[in-house]
Amino acid sequence: MRAIIIFFCLSIFFSCNIQEKSTTDSFDTIKFDSHVHLMSPELIKYWKEIGIPFSKTESNYSNVDTILNNTPAKYINLIGMAYVYGNPEYYQGSDGAQKMANENNYLLEVSQKYPNRIVPFFAVDPLKEYAIDELDRCYTINSNSGLKLHFNASQVYLTEPEHLKKVKQLFIKASAYKLPILLHFDNWHPKFGKPDIEILVDSILNKINPIELQIAHFGTSGGFNEKTKRFIDAFVDLKDKGRIPTKHKITFDISAVALDKNSEGVSKLTEEEFIELSKYVHKIGVKNIVFGTDYPLYRSNEYYSILKEKVGLTEKELRIITQKNIAHEKF
């Protein structure tokens, strides 16, 4: 079951075509794309070997110039995927720690080509005993980075005391280093949602110094459905009750939420769901939302148009969400 779920998450990722479109005007409009993926040639090779389909040539996933050209935004957060090497469903080799380090190294290295445009988000698997060492190592290479955590790929359950303890340690480190965190929170447990948010808030966010936290895909794993709504409802409810400490900067990224095309296992939104999504955008508040494409899922100009035409966001609202980013505050 777990294998199916994990594969499903990947397949939405790769099965979408990257459409060729003119990109020039969106470069001025879109200041930040907060969720752009990068894979090393080594990772692409491995995934091809295990049968994961790629619809475009390798450079679309691994070459930073091609990526910046494909998904134009003035600044991007470039998100690494090293966490996959921690998952036994993806990778069975005994050198997972080294593979993870290689993937992070590739991300940190290519990002250096545009240090003023790209903030790399290296990834660790919180449950591995070497997670803190890997965080320290990457931070030493580039202190102007971010940290990506993926609770589905790493199968993290905050309801497990041991998991909670390890995640909390990473959050404390990230806070001390001023590393923004991008969190893919949804672990695909059927009961994922309110209990997980409450633990995150009560046992982590309330106990640590300020952090910058970007919650990926509106809290779940892409698309917009009952689970997404339950997650947002629970979060907003805690916020309204004053239970979420205001010292932290918490944003929701809208990447992969407004799907206008079917992907394996995830339906595109119906017209009614797009309208419902619009209500939820306002429930979260545009000032708390950041723009992201989950590239290669979408290009920035393509996704911008969907938010405008299908979700019905105004130019002003789009300006608010595209001009905000947790990692580029100095720019």
Q: Which residues bind Zn ion (CB under 5 A)?
A: 294
The alpha carbon of 30 is separated from its chain's Cα centroid by a whole number of angstroms, namely 18
Q: Whose Cβ is closer to Zn ion: residue 154's or residue 164's?
A: 154
| Residue number with the smallest Cβ distance to Zn ion | 294
Interaxial angle between packed helices 161-177 and 131-141, expressed in degrees from 0 to 180 and rounded to the nearest 10: 20
Q: How many CB atoms lie within 10 A of CB 23?
A: 18
| Least distance CB 292 / Zn ion (angstroms) | 8
| Least distance CB 277 / Zn ion (angstroms) | 18
Q: Whose Cβ is closer to Zn ion: residue 212's or residue 294's?
A: 294
Q: Whose Cβ is closer to Zn ion: residue 164's or residue 254's?
A: 254
Q: Whose Cβ is closer to Zn ion: residue 6's or residue 208's?
A: 6
| Least distance CB 34 / Zn ion (angstroms) | 10
Q: Whose Cβ is closer to Zn ion: residue 55's or residue 314's?
A: 55
From the list 203, 202, 197, 200, the residue with the least C-alpha distance to 228 is 197
| Least distance CB 16 / Zn ion (angstroms) | 12
| Least distance CB 221 / Zn ion (angstroms) | 9
Taking CA atoms, 131 is separated from 9, 176, 203, 221, 237, in Å, by: 23, 16, 20, 23, 32
| Least distance CB 279 / Zn ion (angstroms) | 24
Taken in order 152, 157, 158, 162, the sign of the CA dihedral is: negative
331's tokens: 């720019």
From the list 153, 167, 145, the residue with the least C-alpha distance to 81 is 153
- Type of residue at 199: I
Q: Whose Cβ is closer to Zn ion: residue 221's or residue 301's?
A: 221
| Least distance CB 13 / Zn ion (angstroms) | 7
121's tokens: 């988000």
- 273-277 CB contacts, 8 Å cutoff, 24+ apart: 273/224, 273/225, 274/310, 274/311, 274/312, 275/312, 276/224, 276/229, 277/224, 277/311
| Least distance CB 177 / Zn ion (angstroms) | 22
Cα 81 from Cα 121, distance rounded (Å): 9
Q: Whose Cβ is closer to Zn ion: residue 123's or residue 244's?
A: 123
Q: Whose Cβ is closer to Zn ion: residue 14's or residue 192's?
A: 14
Cα 297 from Cα 9, distance rounded (Å): 12
